[in-house]
Amino acid sequence: MAVRLKAVLPYVLLILLSIVFLFPFLWLVMTSLKTPEEILKFPPTIFPEKVQWSNYQAAVEAIPFTKYMMNTFLICILNIIGQLLSAPLVAYSISRIPWKGRKVIFTIVVATMILPAQVQMIPQYIIFTNLGWVNTIVPLTIGAFFGAPFFIFLLRQFLLGVPMELSEAAKIDGASELRIYARIILPILKPALATVALFSFVWSYVDFMGPLIYLNDSAKWTITVGLQSFQQDHGAQWEKLMAASTIMAVPMILIYFFGQKYFMKSGSALTGFK
Amino acid sequence: MKKKTWFGLWCLLLSIMVAGCSGGSGSTAEPGKTSGEEPDQPAAADAVELSFWYGWTGPEAEALEKLIAKWNEAHPEIQVKGLSQSDYQKQLTAITGGNPPDVASQFGQNVVPWGLRGAMMPLDDYIAKDGVDLDDFVPAALSTSQHEGATYAIPTAMHVSMLFYNKDILKEAGYDGPPETLGELKEYIQALSIVEDGGRLSRLGLWPGMDAYTFSYAYGGSFYDEAAKQVTPDHEGIQSAIKLSKEIWDQYGSDNLDRFSSGLGQYMSAQNPFFSGKYAMTVDGEWLPTFIKQFAPDLNYGIAPIPYDENHPERKNPGNVTTSVFYIPKGAKHPDASWAFIKWMTEPEQMAEFTAAIGNLPTRTSAFASPLYENVPGFKEFLDYSASENLKSFPATSFTNEYMTEFSAQVDAILRGTVSIEEGLANVKEKIQPLVK
Amino acid sequence: MNASAPVHSPRPKARWSRKERRYFWLGLAFASPWIVGFLAFTVYPFFGSLYLSLTEYDLFSTPRWVGLQNYENILQDDRFYTSLGNTFFMAFVSVPITLAASLLIAVVLNFKARGINYYRTIFYLPSVIPIVASALLWTWMLNPDFGLVNMALRAFGLPDPAWLLDPRYTKPSLILMSLWGSGAGALIFLAALQGVPKQYYEAAQVDGAGAWHRFWKITLPALSPIILFQLIMGLIGAFQIFTESYILAGGKADGGSLGGPEQSLLFYAVNLYQEAFVFLKMGYASALAWILFIIVLLMTLLLLKTSGRWVYYGGE
C-alpha cells in the first residue's frame, strides 16, 4: 500500500501543480476572447459565451502593435549582433590566451554581474543626454557591442571545456591567434553562441525600464512600453490587453520551444558557478 | 603588423556600430509614413518638418489631426507631423535630452513651473511682433500661462466642471431635479446608491473622491495667500470640502469602493460608469456631452451647476478653471515655424474648429460666437457657466506641481483613514511652504 | 596567479619574456571591447554618480555642489524608509518563499516520472512570459470581483481580498506572481539535483535513512552552493524590482500614483526612478543609488562570509 502511494504521489503532485501553473494561461486566453460586457459580468465566467477573435485584430490596431514590434525587433537584432561580435572575443581572451591580467579581468567581469544597474543609470543617462542620444535606440543597443558580463562568463565556461590541443596544433602550423579564433574556436562555439543570441534577444525583448527612460517619442517605443502606455490611457479594456499580452508572449514561447536545449545549457553553466 | 589587424577589427566594429545607430535613426524617421495616412503633400524641397506632441488620444486626436492636415495643405513650407503622446512627463525628459518636439500641448498647471525652469520658450517677443491680441483671451485662462509678465504658452482650450445627472435614475428615486445645495447633494448620494446584500456596491450616487479643487472653491476655500506668501491647504473651505468627501467615503468604506471601482469600464467608451448607470451623478468637464453623444446617445441626462453651500448663497456656481495650452519647448530647432503654427492654431477660426470638435470651451472671447458650437451638446450650459463670478483657478507658481501632487496624495490618505484631516493638510503645508520663494 | 597584475599599464615590466609580452598585448586586444565598455559605461558612471550624489542637479542648470546634503535629506525622507521597508519585505520574505517553491518543484520533477519533459515545460513557461505581459495578466487575475483568483477563493468559501487595491495585500500579490515564475529557479535546482552522485543516496539507503532524512542530509548540502547563488541573485533582484510595481500599481509617471495604495508597492528602484526621471532630482537620486550599492554590497559580503557555515563544496 505504502509502495503504491509512493509511486502515485509524484504524479498527483505534478498534476496539481501543473493545473495551478496553467490556469493563468487559460484565463489570459479566455479573457482575450470575451466581449467587454461579459468581462464585467458578475459572477464571472471562465469560458466566453461567444468567442471574439476580432479582439485580436482590434488590439493590434489600437496599440499600434506592428509598429512597436518592428521597433522591438530592430533593437533585439542589434543587441544580438553586438553580443556575438564582442562577447566571444573577450571570453577567448580570458580563457585561451595565457596573459597576465586575465584573472583580474575575469574577477571584474563576475563582480559586475552583481553590480546593481541603478548605480550607473543616472550618469549613463547624462552621458547619453550630452551626446544627444536620448530618444534614439543607441543607448539601448550600444552596450551590447562591449560584451555583457553574463555572456562572457557563459562562453568562458564553455571554452574551458575545449581542449587546448586544438589550438596548439594550429599554432604549430603557423596560424595567428585571430585565425585560430575565427577558424577553429568560433565554429566550435556555435551552440554556445546560439545560447548567447537567444538570451540577448529575450533580454532586449522584455526590457521595460530602458525604453521607458530613453525613448520619449511614442513612435519609437518598444512593445513593452507601448503596451503599458495603452493600459494607462485605455485602462479597463481587458479583452484587448489580454489579447495583446498573448501575442506578445508568443515569440517568447516559440523561442523556448525551439531553443530549449540552449536554455538548459545556461542552467548547467550556472551550476558550474561555485 | 598585428596591431594593424586589430586596428582593422576595431574599425569594423565601430563602423557596424555607427551603421547600427544610423540604421536606428533612419527607421525612426520612417513612422512619419504611418501617421500621415493622407497621400504625400506636395512639400517644398526645403520644407521644415515640425514634430508636434499632443496629449489627446482617440477621437480627440483624430479631430486634431484633421486640423494639422489642413495646415499642411496650406503651408507646404512647414509640414507638421502630429504624435499622440499622453505621458506628458516624456516632454520634460525630451527637453532635457536635447531632442524635444517643436511644438507640444500641455496642461495649464505645468506652464509656470516648466517656464520658470527654462523648459518652455517665452513667447512675448513673438506675441508683440505679430500683434496677437491677448485681451481677447479669457483672463482666468490666460493667467495660467503667465508669470511676472512673461507668457510661456498660449491656452487653446478652457475646462470647467459641472454636475451631470442621470434623469431616469433620479426620477426613479423620486427626484424631479438635481441637487442644488451641498446638503442636498449628500442626501441624493445616499438615496441613489445601491448596496446589495453582503455590502457589494452596484450603484453609486456620486463617486465620493470627487474633485477636491472644485468643491474647495464651493466652500470658499483658497490655496494660496499671495500677500502673506503662505500656502493655505488648511483653509477652512478646503477642510469643509474634504470633510464632505470623507463622510460619504466612510459610509461605504475603502474596501467596497475599491472593489466597485475595479469593475468600472473604460472612461472613453459605452462602459463609462456614468453612461452605464453605475454612477447616478458625476462631476465632469465640458467634453463629456460630446462623449455621451458618441458612446451613449440614448442616455437621458441633465447638466447642473455645482451645488453651493446653503449658508453662503453668494458663492453660487462655483468652479475650477483649468486649461490646455500649446508651447515651444526649449531647444526646439525651428522656433519661428513653431510659433507660426501655434499662432495659426490659436486663431479664433481654428480654435473654434478644434474645441467644437472635442466639445471644449475656447479661450478667446471672439471664438464664442462661432456657429460651429451650435451643434456641440452641452456647450451653452458650459459657456453660460464659464461666465460665473465664482470660478477660480489653482495659483500658478513655481511649486504648483509639487503642491498639487502632495495635496492629492494627502487627500487620498485622509479618505482612506491613514491620517486625520488636520494632520494630512498640515503635512501638505509643512512640505510645500519651504518651496515658496 | 598574481591578482594585482597591471591591467591598464601599457608598459609591461622588463622581466617579461618576449612571449609573455606578446600574449599580454594579444590578450588585451581580444579583451579590449569589454575593457572599453567597462571604463565608459561602468567605471566612469560609477564614480560619476558618486560625484553627482554630492550635488544638486536638474539637467537644466549645471550641478551645484551641496556636500552631504542629499544624504542628510534622504535620512529624513519618509519615502526612503517606506521604500526600504517594502524592499526588505520582498528580499527577506518573498525571495525565500519563491526559492523554497523552486526547490519543491525541482524535487518533485526529479522523481523519474513519465512525461517529465511536459511538466518541465509547463513549470518553465510562465517565466518566459515578458514581465509586462505577466504583470498585466496578474492585475486582471487579481481583480477583486472579476478575477480568477477570487473566483476560486469564493468557490471554496474563503474570503476574497481586494489584492492590488488593498495595501495589506499588494505585496502578497507580488509574491503570488513570483511564485508563478518560480519554474526558472526550479530548472537550475533540477540540473544540480541530477548532478548529485547516486552513490550518496544508495549508501544512505543501505544505512536505512528515510526520505526526509536523505533530503536534509544529502540533497540540501549538495545543493547549498546553488542555493547561495540563487539567494544572492534573488536579493539583488529584490532591490531592483521595478516593472512589476510600475504596472501593478498602474503607474502614471506624472502623478503620485507610482507606488500603489498607501505606497505599499513603492520599492527602492521605483523611488529612485521617480526622483531621477520624474522629479529630475539627479543628485538626490544618485545618492539613493550609492546607498543602494552599499546595502547590496554589505548584504552580499555578509552572505558570503556566513556561507562557510552552511554551504558545502563537496567533492572538490
Render pLDDT for B77-107 as a digit per residue (tens, 0 to 9). Answer: 999 999 988 778 888 888 888 889 999 999 9
Per the CB < 8 A criterion, the answer to whether B277 and B166 are in contact is yes
User: How many domains does the structure of chain B reveal?
Assistant: 2
Q: What percent of chain B has pLDDT above 70?
A: 90
Q: Does residue A252 lie in a domain region?
A: no
Give mean pLDDT, residues B19-32: 36
Q: Does residue A39 lie in a domain region?
A: yes
> Which residue in A68, A90, A135, A146 has the most chain B C-beta atoms within 10 A of its own C-beta, making it the best mutation to test that interface?
A135
Shortest alpha-carbon distance between residue C203 and chain A (Å)? 20
Residue C25 domain boundaries: 18-71
pLDDT of residue B356: 93
A149-162 burial code (b ≥16 CB/10 A, e <16) = bbbbbbbbbbbeeb
Render pLDDT for B366-376 as a digit per residue (tens, 0 to 9). Answer: 998 899 999 89
- Let me know whether C100 and C63 are in one domain: no
Helix ranges (DSSP H) in chain C: 18-38, 44-52, 69-75, 78-89, 95-110, 116-124, 131-141, 148-155, 170-180, 183-194, 198-206, 211-214, 220-238, 243-248, 268-273, 282-307
- Let me know whether A124 and A198 are in one domain: yes
Shortest alpha-carbon distance between residue B185 and chain C (Å)? 27
Q: Does residue A112 lie in a domain region?
A: yes
Q: Does residue A130 lie in a domain region?
A: yes
The band of B35, judged by pLDDT with boundaries at 50, 70 and 90, is: very low
> Which residue in A38, A65, A100 has the most chain C C-beta atoms within 10 A of its own C-beta, making it the best mutation to test that interface?
A100
- Let me know whether B312 and B328 are in one domain: no
Say which amino acid occupies B322.
Answer: T
- Let me know whether B190 and B123 are in one domain: no
- Let me know whether B251 and B371 are in one domain: no
Q: Does residue A250 lie in a domain region?
A: no
Least confident range from A69-78, B293-302, B408-417, C35-44: namely: B408-417
- Let me know whether C61 and C86 are in one domain: no
ipTM of this complex prediction, to 2 decimal places? 0.89
CB contact under 8 A, A233 and B86: yes
Q: Does residue C56 lie in a domain region?
A: yes
Question: Which set of grid coordinates corresponds to residue C117?
Answer: 519533459
Per the CB < 8 A criterion, the answer to whether C167 and C261 are in contact is yes
CB contact under 8 A, C165 and B262: yes
CB contact under 8 A, B266 and A217: no
d(CA B226, CA A9): 75
Helix ranges (DSSP H) in B283-347: 288-295, 335-345
- Let me know whether B118 and B136 are in one domain: yes
Closest CA to A34 of A13, A19, A48: A48
- Let me know whether A10 and A100 are in one domain: no
d(CA C32, CA B11): 13
- Let me know whether B283 and B252 are in one domain: yes
Give mean pLDDT, residues B161-190: 95
Residues of chain B with Cβ-Cβ distance to C277 below 8 Å are: 89, 93
Render pLDDT for B247-290 as a digit per residue (tens, 0 to 9). Answer: 999 999 888 888 888 778 778 788 889 999 999 999 999 999 99
CB contact under 8 A, B409 and C256: yes
Domain harbouring B298, CATH code: 3.40.190.10
Closest CA to C36 of B244, A82, A165: A82
Question: Which chain C residues in 155-184 lie under 8 Å from chain B, judged by CB atoms?
Answer: 162, 165-166
Residues of chain A with Cβ-Cβ distance to B21 below 8 Å are: 136-138, 141-142
Q: Is B22 on the interface with A (CB under 8 A)?
A: no
Shortest alpha-carbon distance between residue B95 and chain C (Å)? 9
Beta strands B194-195; B161-166: pairing state: unpaired
- Let me know whether C161 and C209 are in one domain: yes
Find, in chain A, the residue whose alpha carbon is nearest to that of B15: A145
- Let me know whether A7 and A96 are in one domain: no
CB contact under 8 A, C254 and B117: no
- Let me know whether C49 and C193 are in one domain: no
- Let me know whether B289 and B354 are in one domain: no
- Let me know whether B216 and B352 are in one domain: no
Q: Does residue B13 lie in a domain region?
A: no
- Let me know whether B95 and B130 are in one domain: yes
Per-residue pLDDT of chain C (316 residues; tens, 9 = 90+): 444 444 455 555 567 888 888 899 999 999 999 999 999 999 999 999 999 999 999 888 889 999 999 999 999 888 899 999 999 999 999 999 999 999 999 988 887 767 888 888 899 899 889 999 999 999 999 988 889 999 999 999 898 888 888 888 999 999 999 999 998 889 889 888 888 888 877 787 777 777 788 888 888 888 888 899 889 889 989 999 999 999 887 654 444 467 887 788 999 999 999 889 888 889 999 999 999 999 999 998 998 888 888 887 764 4
Q: Does residue C236 lie in a domain region?
A: yes
pLDDT of residue B308: 94
Q: Does residue B28 lie in a domain region?
A: no
- Let me know whether C39 and C142 are in one domain: no
Concatenated DSSP letters for B111-172? HHHHHHHT-B---HHHHHHHT--GGGB-HHHHGGGEETTEE--EEEEEE-EEEEEEHHHHHH
Spatial CB neighbours of B208, under 8 Å, sequence gap ≥ 6: B189, B245, B248, B249, B251, B252, B257, B415
Question: What is residue C10's DSSP assignment?
Answer: S
Top pLDDT among C210 and B431 is at B431
Question: Which chain C residues in 225-284 lie under 8 Å from chain B, judged by CB atoms?
Answer: 252-256, 261-262, 277-278, 280
Domain harbouring A73, CATH code: 1.10.3720.10
Q: Does residue B332 lie in a domain region?
A: yes
Question: Which chain B residues in 56-85 lie under 8 Å from chain A, judged by CB atoms?
Answer: 57, 83-85
Residues of chain A with Cβ-Cβ distance to B96 below 8 Å are: 129, 134
Q: Does residue C13 lie in a domain region?
A: no
3-state secondary structure of B200: coil
CB contact under 8 A, B20 and A141: yes
Question: Which chain A residues in 174-193 lie under 8 Å from chain B, judged by CB atoms?
Answer: 176, 178
Shortest alpha-carbon distance between residue B15 and chain A (Å)? 11
Residues of chain C with Cβ-Cβ distance to B2 below 8 Å are: 25-26, 29
pLDDT of residue B225: 93
Q: Is B359 left (phi over 0), alpha (psi -120 to 50) or beta?
A: left
| Average pLDDT score, chain B | 86
CB contact under 8 A, A116 and C282: no
- Let me know whether A180 and A116 are in one domain: yes
- Let me know whether A33 and A139 are in one domain: no
- Let me know whether B165 and B134 are in one domain: no
CB contact under 8 A, C60 and B259: no
CB contact under 8 A, A82 and B20: yes
pLDDT of residue B199: 75
pLDDT of residue A54: 92
> Which residue in A128, A133, A217 has the most chain B C-beta atoms within 10 A of its own C-beta, making it the best mutation to test that interface?
A217
Residues of chain C with Cβ-Cβ distance to B119 below 8 Å are: 60
User: Of C71, C95, C114, which residue is a domain's last?
Assistant: C71
- Let me know whether C149 and C52 are in one domain: no
- Let me know whether C283 and C249 are in one domain: yes
Q: Which residues of chain A have pLDDT under 70?
A: 1-3, 263-274
- Let me know whether A224 and A162 are in one domain: yes
- Let me know whether B279 and B183 are in one domain: yes
d(CA C206, CA C213): 13
Beta strands B194-195; B201-203: pairing state: antiparallel
Q: Does residue B118 lie in a domain region?
A: yes
Residue B66 domain boundaries: 46-159+322-387
Q: Does residue C40 lie in a domain region?
A: yes
Domain harbouring C240, CATH code: 1.10.3720.10
Question: Which chain A residues in 107-126 lie under 8 Å from chain B, judged by CB atoms?
Answer: none
- Let me know whether A78 and A10 are in one domain: no
Residue A18 domain boundaries: 2-54
Shortest alpha-carbon distance between residue A30 and chain C (Å)? 11
Question: Which set of grid coordinates corresponds to residue B345?
Answer: 492654431
- Let me know whether A175 and A227 are in one domain: yes
- Let me know whether A122 and A177 are in one domain: yes
pLDDT of residue C250: 66
Residues of chain A with Cβ-Cβ distance to B94 below 8 Å are: 134-135, 216-217
- Let me know whether C139 and C255 are in one domain: yes
pLDDT of residue C3: 43
Give mean pLDDT, residues B305-310: 94
Q: Does residue C11 lie in a domain region?
A: no
- Let me know whether C131 and C61 are in one domain: no
- Let me know whether B253 and B175 are in one domain: yes
Concatenated DSSP letters for B9-23? HHHHHHHHHHHHHHH
User: How many domains does the structure of chain A reveal?
Assistant: 2
Q: Does residue B39 lie in a domain region?
A: no
Least confident range from B113-122, B350-359, C108-117: namely: C108-117
Find, in chain B, the residue whose alpha carbon is nearest to that of C253: B89
Q: Is B16 on the interface with A (CB under 8 A)?
A: yes
Shortest alpha-carbon distance between residue C269 and chain A (Å)? 7
> Which residue in B16, B93, B200, B259 has the most chain C C-beta atoms within 10 A of its own C-beta, making it the best mutation to test that interface?
B259
Q: Does residue C9 lie in a domain region?
A: no
Find, in chain B, the residue whose alpha carbon is nearest to that of C22: B2
- Let me know whether A50 and A72 are in one domain: no
Shortest alpha-carbon distance between residue A201 and chain C (Å)? 12
Concatenated DSSP letters for chain A? -HHHHHHHHHHHHHHHHHHHHHHHHHHHHHHTTS-HHHHT-SS--SS-SS--THHHHHHHHHTTHHHHHHHHHHHHHHHHHHHHHHHHHHHHHHHHS--TTHHHHHHHHHHHHTS-HHHHHHHHHHHHHHTT-TTSSHHHHGGGGG--HHHHHHHHHHHHTS-THHHHHHHHTT--HHHIIIIIIHHHHHHHHHHHHHHHHHHHHH--HHHHHH--SGGG--HHHHHHHHHHHHTT-HHHHHHHHHHHHHHHHHHHHHHHHHHHHHHHHHHT--
Residues of chain A with Cβ-Cβ distance to B85 below 8 Å are: 217-218
Shortest alpha-carbon distance between residue A3 and chain B (Å)? 49
- Let me know whether C87 and C212 are in one domain: yes
User: Of A218, A235, A252, which residue is a domain's last?
Assistant: A235
Give mean pLDDT, residues B376-383: 92
Q: Does residue B242 lie in a domain region?
A: yes
d(CA C303, CA B232): 51
Give mean pLDDT, residues B332-350: 95
How many cross-chain Cβ pairs, B to C, lie less than 8 Å apart? 59
Q: How far is CA B412 from CA B207, B208, C262, in A?
A: 13, 11, 8
- Let me know whether A134 and A8 are in one domain: no
Using CB atoms, pick whichever of B2, B31, B93 lies closest to residue A67: B31
pLDDT of residue B30: 35
Q: Does residue C177 lie in a domain region?
A: yes
- Let me know whether C49 and C120 are in one domain: no
Residues of chain B with Cβ-Cβ distance to A138 below 8 Å are: 20-21, 24
Compute how many other C-beta atoms are within 10 angstroms of the C-beta atom of residue A54. Answer: 12
Using CB atoms, pick whichever of C36, C132, C145 lies closest to residue A224: C132
Residues of chain C with Cβ-Cβ distance to B14 below 8 Å are: none
Quick one: CA dihedral C32, C36, C41, C45, positive or negative?
Answer: positive
- Let me know whether A129 and A203 are in one domain: yes
Q: Does residue C42 lie in a domain region?
A: yes
Q: Does residue B416 lie in a domain region?
A: yes
CB contact under 8 A, C27 and A256: no
- Let me know whether C132 and C54 are in one domain: no
